[in-house]
Chains A and B, each alone.
Chain A
Amino acid sequence: MKRAFTLLAVLMFGIIFARMVGDYSERQSVSALAEHYLSVVPQELGAPNVVTGILITFRGFDTLGEVAVLFMVAASVGILLASQPEARQQKELTEPEPRRPSELVQNGAEVILPLIFLFGAYVIMNGHLSAGGGFQGGAVVASAVMLLVLAKPSSQLHHGFLSITESLAGVLYVSIGILGLIFAAGFLDSHILPKGDFGTLFSAGAIPLISTLLGIKVGAELSVIIDRFRN
Chain B
Amino acid sequence: MGLPVSHILLATGFLLVLIGMWGMLKHRNILRIIIGFSLIDTGLHIVMVATGYVTGHTAPIIDKALGIGDATSRAVDPIPAALVVTAIVIGFSVTAVMLAFAIRVYDAKKSLSIDALTESKW
Contacts and interface: CB of A to CB of B under 8 A. Distances in A.
A54 B97 contact: no
B20 to A, nearest CB: 10
B18 A21 contact: no
A9 B85 contact: no
Contacts of A55: 82, 85
B2 interface: no
9 contacts: A27-B77, A30-B54, A38-B78, A50-B62, A51-B81, A54-B78, A66-B86, A130-B63, A135-B89
Interface in A178-220: 198-199
Interface residues of B, number: 47
A34 interface: yes
Contacts, number: 141
Main secondary structure of the interface of A (DSSP, over half): helix
Interface in A1-17: 3, 6, 9-10, 13-14, 17
B10 A30 contact: no
Residue picked from B5, B22, B77, most chain A C-beta under 10 Å: B77
B35 interface: no
B21 A3 contact: no
A13 B21 contact: yes
